[in-house]
Amino acid sequence: MALELSPEGIEKLLKGVTIPPRPALLLALDAELNSDDPDLKVIEALITKDVGVSAAMLRTLNSPLFGLSRKVGNVLQAVQLLGLRNVRNVVTGLVLRKAVGDTASLERFWDSAEKVASINAYICTLLPKVPREECYTFGLFRDCGIPVLMQRFPDYRETLRLAAGDPRPMTEVEDEHHGTSHATVGHVIARVWGLSDLVCSAILRHHETDSFANVDDTHPMAHTLVAINILAEHLNDTAQRMREDTNWDRIGENVLDYLGFSDTEYSDLREHLQSV
């Protein structure tokens, strides 16, 4: 269950940060999904009305990393194949970029988030009983507080630079300089946008990497989503972008143990992603 915060507690933690409201497309989708008899045709019409979202959804679902058993030709097929709630998860992630901030300076940030989210989805196909669509959505949302904090604090980029050279979790450095963190902001955005308790909890905890060495059974699936995402970020950085990942040297073994991946399975995963 996601951490419950009172309205007063949220206001104190956000320090004047403006949370983007839930987009009109999601409001309309939720209204139909919460009706007594949701109409697939109405849901299809709502999604296809936004040409950018519907095209991006089909591109995402047909990616080899997403791991569907067959190609999806249109939005109605996607709804029928994935189910209403899973489609809602995917659409939510796709409208995030425009709602939070899609400037030229953030293009690499969002492209990386989308690639990591897709790798998340692929890793889920290798693990039993891990919700692929929610793991994909978590991958997109986990750092969505960063562009929001960039808009709120002119010196936030300097905070990011300091955090990169600090052994402490990034969220501690953010709290020290701004009284809040991107994990807190992202958690609140996810709640306002109606994401599941699982995704909200994972966003709030995604820098609690010590939990993989000292397993906490309080939030096992949230920790699983976080572990998958750490592995996906590592693979995206090292196997595809050819960047160094010093953090992996510290926690990588614990993450693989937590997920139950052997060294051979990890190597096979790296080889597959390099070929995609």
Contact 195, 141 (CB under 8 A): yes
| Lowest-pLDDT choice from 53-57, 104-108, 131-135, 145-149 | 104-108
Confidence check: pLDDT of 104 > 80: no
Residue 16: band (very low, low, confident or very high) from pLDDT cuts 50, 70, 90 = confident
Q: Which residues contact 239 (CB under 8 A, 6 or more apart)?
A: 270, 273, 274
* Residue ranges of domains in the chain: 21-100, 103-276
Residue 38: burial class (beta carbons within 10 Å; 0-12, 13-18, 19+): middle
Q: What is the mean pLDDT of residues 108-129?
A: 92
Q: How far is Cα 191 from Cα 200, in angstroms, rounded to an integer? A: 6
Retrieve residue 73's tokens: 């030709």
Q: Which pLDDT value is given to residue 6? A: 56
For the structural domain made of 103-276, what CATH number should be given?
A: 1.10.3210.10
Predicted TM-score (pTM) of the model is 0.86
Confidence check: pLDDT of 40 > 60: yes
Contact 95, 51 (CB under 8 A): no
Between CA 88 and CA 96, with CA 93 as vertex, the angle to 5 degrees is 125
Other residues' Cβ atoms within 10 Å of the Cβ of residue 244: 9
Question: What pLDDT digit, counting tens, does each position of 48-90 carry?
Answer: 999 999 998 999 899 888 888 889 999 999 999 888 888 888 8
Question: What pLDDT digit, counting tens, does each position of 236-249 carry?
Answer: 988 666 667 778 88
One-letter amino acid for residue 200 of the chain:
C
